[in-house]
Amino acid sequence: MRKTNNIFIFLNLKKHSKFFKLFLLFILLFFSVFILTYRLDKNPPGFFIDESIYGYEAFSIVKNKGFSSNGEFLPRFFKNPTQQTRGHSSYVYFNIPFITIFGLKEFSVRLSSVVSSLLLLFTLYFFLKKKIDFFAIFLTLFWWPLTAWVFILSRIGLEHIFGTMISFVVFFLLNFIFFENQKNFFNFILLGLFLLFTFYSFQAGKLIGLSYFGLAIILIFLKEKNNKRKISYLSIIGSFFILTLFLSYSYIKDGSFFYRSNELMYYCSDRFIECFIKNIFSHFNWKYYFLNDYRPPDFPVFRHSILGTSLIPKILAPFLIIGIIKLISGLIKKNPESWLILFSYINGIIPASLTIRGFDSWRSVATLPIIFVLIGFGIDYIFKKIKFIAKKREKIIILLIIIIFFWV
């Protein structure tokens, strides 16, 4: 039998050492850091208004020893300028280390989003690690910094990618605890902390966090058969839930909790349900993801897109379709992980659907890691089929790689 030539041995990563995989992960990290930090202080040029608010509030906390620009001590949400409602989240605190080190400037304010994006990248890696082939993971995550949607939000000092990272960690922990059967007190405390962080990390997190709290409680009832442990786990999650609501009382009272949903109520008060359903369905419209001229319909600014470039690279569309088919297959087979993925996607689109825009590259970003999970499933499926059916598999794999990396 003819020996497999070197190129296929290279691609068959199961035959390689952990060192080789770590080397590829280092390449992925270096590449991502370079793409996301190159000219970070100049592109986009100047502070966006919300960037300046987040940066200045973090600077105020440092300079005034814990007090915000409004004189409040360590607030969970920050007031909008000239308004009583609080539209800016605890993402302010994530800026503090970078502003302390580099000072108040574009680079330091935006660096927190870069770090959030990198943490999200590796959370995706750890979620996919036990589910798909390593090389499929590498190809999936290689596209992360090259995706316009990721690139835009990872280079602007706003809470969107940070909040998405926190909420995806909750998704990861729910899967790890309940479907990989890693139930213990430490993991539930960790889950409770990240549920609380989700609530305060970004505007959409208030609804996303509450939904995940509810799901965690339901899963404890369904998955834990030991009554003593069930009571203990419920007590942990319940305590964090009560703490979250207690810390939020003043923000619910002053209307800040409903900061975004009030927007839809204001503009569509007489047909709220119709507008909400329409916004839900806008997230299933492929043109928003793959056409080159995406801009929010009511707020057509270039900061939300890159002209001539789709939010998600078109080359990834076939893999996303395959991933969706695999998801549907899992739902039919009652695979619990598939239902968690579907729940998390819906959970991500509801807050954005309560605003006037519907799908929006900023407000719908909580769905982005779920989309990449499905893309990863699609890439893995194709690679497995190629290995199975190809007689001259080395040439086909080389051709596939050429198409993926050079077809734009």
What is the per-residue DSSP string for 132-188?
Answer: S-HHHHHHHHHTTTTSHHHHHHHTS-SSHHHHHHHHHHHHHHHIIIIITT---HHHH
pLDDT band at 7, cuts 50/70/90?
very low
User: What pLDDT digit, counting tens, does each position of 256-292 carry?
Assistant: 666 666 677 777 878 888 888 999 999 999 988 998 8
Q: Is the pTM of this model over 0.85?
A: yes
Residue 44 maps to a domain: no
Write the CA distances from 81 to 78, 98, 253, 355, integer angstroms. 9, 23, 19, 21
Least confident range of 137-146, 242-251, 311-320:
242-251
User: What pLDDT digit, counting tens, does each position of 224-260 carry?
Assistant: 889 999 999 999 999 999 999 888 877 777 766 666 6
One DSSP character per residue, 177-205 reads IIITT---HHHHHHHHHHHHHHHHHSTTH
What is the Cα–Cα distance from 73 to 386, expressed in whole angstroms? 59
Q: Determine the length of the chain.
A: 408
Q: What average pLDDT score do residues 378-393 get?
A: 72
pLDDT(14) > 60: no
| The predicted structure's pLDDT at residue 406 | 45
| The predicted structure's pLDDT at residue 393 | 54
| The predicted structure's pLDDT at residue 4 | 46
| The predicted structure's pLDDT at residue 212 | 96
pLDDT(200) > 80: yes
Residue 364 maps to a domain: yes
Residue 237 maps to a domain: yes
User: What pLDDT digit, counting tens, does each position of 91-111 carry?
Assistant: 889 999 999 999 989 999 999
Contact 328, 177 (CB under 8 A): no
Residue with tokens 């954005």: 352
State the chain's mean pLDDT as an integer. 85
The two tokens of residue 231 are 């009571």
Rg, C-alpha atoms of the chain: 22
What is the Cα–Cα distance from 67 to 59, expressed in whole angstroms? 10
Residue 163 maps to a domain: yes
The two tokens of residue 144 are 């992360």
Residue 339 maps to a domain: yes
Exposure b/e, 15-44, CB count within 10 A at least 16 = b: eeeeeebeebbeebeeebeebbbeebbeeb
Q: What is the span of the domain harbouring residue 68?
A: 49-406
More confident residue, 76 or 2: 76
User: What is the count of structural domains for the chain?
Assistant: 1
Q: What average pLDDT score do residues 286-302 get?
A: 77
pLDDT band at 330, cuts 50/70/90?
very high
Residue with tokens 């609080």: 86
| The predicted structure's pLDDT at residue 259 | 65
Residue 375 maps to a domain: yes
Residue 360 maps to a domain: yes
The two tokens of residue 141 are 């995550």
| The predicted structure's pLDDT at residue 91 | 86
Residue 35 maps to a domain: no
What is the Cα–Cα distance from 232 to 55, expressed in whole angstroms? 40
* Phi, then psi, of 88 in degrees rounded to 5: -120, 135
pLDDT band at 130, cuts 50/70/90?
confident
* Phi, then psi, of 106 in degrees rounded to 5: -55, -45
More confident residue, 186 or 15: 186
Q: Residue 118 burial by CB count (10 A; 0-12/13-18/19+): exposed, middle or buried?
A: buried
271 Cβ contact partners less than 8 Å away, ≥ 6 residues apart:
none
Q: At what angle do helices 160-174 and 336-353 cross, to 10 degrees?
A: 150
Q: Residue 71 burial by CB count (10 A; 0-12/13-18/19+): exposed, middle or buried?
A: exposed
More confident residue, 309 or 370: 370
pLDDT(3) > 50: no
What is the Cα–Cα distance from 52 to 195, expressed in whole angstroms? 27
pLDDT band at 388, cuts 50/70/90?
low
